[in-house]
Amino acid sequence: MSPRTPLPRSFYLQDTLKVARELIGKLLVRKEGDAILSGFIVEVEAYVGPEDKASHASKGLTRRTAPMFGPPGHAYIYLVYGMYYCFNVVTEKEGFPAAVLIRALEPFEGIELMQKKRGVKSLKEIANGPGKLTKALGINGSLNRCDLTSGEVWIEEGRIPGKIDQSPRIGVHYAGEWKDKPWRFYESGSEYLSR
DNA sequence: TATTGGATCGCC
DNA sequence: GCGATCCAATAG
């Protein structure tokens, strides 16, 4: 494979909804020793600003949410329900808390190893959910705050996506009026979507 | 220090 | 539909 080029920091330093939409079709890559694990992004959710009640950042600047307030182009990784890691990319300028949650991938490279890590064979089941894709790629809390422009995790140009649809975000019933914002973006008709 | 409740998943 | 499992946030 030719040299691999992570998307530049300027990509992440943009309006979060724009970044979210443009992430569809891009390739999320994890380098683990000699192994390369990757998949095309088919589903994401945007979490935007301090007012967004669905966002952890609505709690203010705390130890947990600090990465969301940090510089763009870094990872925000947290543990949910005591067992699953969720992977986000931090967007917009430092001080403005925003991020995009990666929710599902279409597996591309290192499929055999990802099948092993997940304990499933079916390609559709490898990374069709935020907790599943981190397990498939071997992403955990030790990578929280890592720089996505240099390191073991990055996003690069992928393929031209199909039609992109929007819907309300999943699992944020507690967020009042914010739960209805159509800030989930996904490739229409993909076989690799969550749930 | 104690309690509470998840940006989920897989099995019942 | 329900329980697993643990950490951060909040209350006391």
Q: With a threshold of 0.85, does the pTM exceed it?
A: yes
pLDDT cut 90: percent of chain A above it: 98
A55 touches strand B (CB under 7 A): yes
Of the candidates A11, A8, A15, A24, the residue with the CA atom closest to the CA atom of residue A164:
A24
Map out the domains of chain A as residue ranges: 9-187
Residue A3: per-residue pLDDT: 72
What is the rounded average pLDDT of the residues A4-20?
Answer: 98
Nucleotides of strand B within 7 Å of the protein's CB atoms: 5-10
Angle, in degrees to the nearest 10, between helices A130-137 and A111-118: 120
Q: What is the CATH number of domain A9-187?
A: 3.10.300.10
Residue A110: per-residue pLDDT: 98
Per residue in A117-172, pLDDT (tens digit) is 999 999 999 999 999 999 999 999 999 999 999 999 999 999 999 999 999 999 99
Whether A38 and A108 have beta carbons less than 8 Å apart is answered as: yes
Token pair in block for residue A105: 């991938």
What whole-number distance in Å separates Cα of residue A56 and Cα of residue A98?
Answer: 10
Residue A1: per-residue pLDDT: 60
A121 touches strand C (CB under 7 A): no
Torsion angles phi and psi, residue A165, rounded to 5 = -110, 165
What whole-number distance in Å separates Cα of residue A52 and Cα of residue A102?
Answer: 18
Confidence of residue A56 (pLDDT cuts 50, 70, 90): very high
A97 touches strand B (CB under 7 A): no
A91 touches strand B (CB under 7 A): no
